[in-house]
Amino acid sequence: MKIILTMLLALVPLSATRADILISNPYIRATPPVVPNSAAFMRLSNTGNAPVFLTSANTSAAKNSEIHAHENTDGVMKMHLIEKLEIPARSAVHLEPGGLHLMIFDLKQPLMPGMTIPMVLNFSDGTSHKLRLPVMNISLGE
Amino acid sequence: MALTTQKHKFLLIIPLLFGVLVGGWVWNFKAEVPDSSSSIQLGGDFTLKSHQGDVSLQDFKGKAVLLFFGYTSCPDVCPTGLAKMSAAINLLTPEAAANVQPIFVSVDPERDDPQKLAEYSAYFHPSLLGLTGKKEDIDRVVKAYGAFYQKVELSNSALGYSMDHTTRIYLINKVGKLSELLFHDTAPPKIAEKLRAIL
């Protein structure tokens, strides 16, 4: 009985932290002085067999964070908010300049290279991921 | 006889109708996409406001000008475009760079005043000039350059509204004529090469 209980207990944290979502290369853009907004980018991979949705993001460095998408229609860039971002099973979604990004509003202070920003990403499978995003200068993407 | 005349009249109407239809279509086509077919006619002088007062394109005769439309709350596309313009200028020799005037026109005068634009622009490049003005003045420039922008309310967003906008970089030659349209994601070496060619 004791052994079974121990085994069960051991399983609990395992299932809670089982990471179907892997986050790589997260960063947030350094900001010009008069604009308290920035954008965060990263790659989200889903190693599981079911789709997972990014439902929200928050950071103590700013008031609000939203998931935004861009659409280029005949040379006009249109930006819109999305409620949740699907990461399909066994695939990855890139948040990158000119496409998807997390828009960060009302930063408490300008972001400068060398700083790191804490962020929590919440997913539809109930997991939350804590990460630290380095502040980077605008990528020029040669 | 009377019937034949009527028939003739009717036959005459057909090409006429066809002409009107084709003419209308061509006219419409030109009105909708003025920039793809007739880029030579786009552009021209304009006057807008900087933090130091009125600035006209013709103030920069003898310099190559890079012109970009956007707004400072734009989280991604505008910083990318402006950073690329700046990086391109930094790839030039100091003598050549001194003969390039980068300009950022804000289409969001509600949120961007000339002072704010000056601080924003300086962040990207010391010579980047931020301009804006009254909506009708901005609209005139936007139209002359075949650009487009639209205020879009974003429900549920802390941004309130965004500005959908064209993201071209306009390359203007030393006599103020539009030389070429580039895209906001054109690589800096490519922009630098285009600049060298018209300097």
What CATH number corresponds to the domain at position A102? 2.60.40.1890
**pLDDT for res A72:** 80
Residue A142 lies in a domain: no
Fold of B41-198: Glutaredoxin (3.40.30)
Residues of chain B with pLDDT under 50: 1-4, 14-17, 19-39
Residue A98's pLDDT band, with cuts at 50, 70 and 90, is confident
Chain-chain contact of A37 with B73 (C-beta, under 8 angstroms):
yes
- Mean per-residue pLDDT of chain A: 86
Residue A31 lies in a domain: yes
Q: Which of A75-79, A119-123, B23-27, B103-107 has the weakest average pLDDT? A: B23-27
Chain-chain contact of B187 with A142 (C-beta, under 8 angstroms):
yes
Residue A11 lies in a domain: no
Chain-chain contact of A81 with B157 (C-beta, under 8 angstroms):
yes
Q: Is A32 exposed, middle or buried (0-12, 13-18, 19+ CB in 10 A)?
A: buried
Q: Is A112 exposed, middle or buried (0-12, 13-18, 19+ CB in 10 A)?
A: exposed
Residue A82 lies in a domain: yes
The count of CB pairs under 8 A between chains A and B is 100
Q: Cα A34 to the chain's mean position, in Å?
A: 25
Which one is predicted more confidently, B59 or A139?
B59
Residue A6's pLDDT band, with cuts at 50, 70 and 90, is low
**B29 has a chain A CB within 8 A of its CB:** no
Residue A8 lies in a domain: no
Which among B194, B197, B199 is positioned nearest to B168, based on CA atoms? B194
Chain-chain contact of B165 with A138 (C-beta, under 8 angstroms):
no
Total domain count, chain A: 1
| Measured distance CA(A50)–CA(A91) in Å, rounded | 10
Q: Cα A66 to the chain's mean position, in Å?
A: 10
Domain ranges of chain B: 2-32, 41-198
Contact A136, A29 (CB under 8 A): yes
How big is the CA angle at B53 (ends B149 and B165), to the nearest 5 degrees? 10
Reported in sequence order, the residue ranges of chain A that DSSP labels E, i.e. its strands, are: 21-29, 38-46, 52-58, 62-73, 76-81, 85-87, 91-95, 101-107, 116-123, 128-136
Residue A13 lies in a domain: no
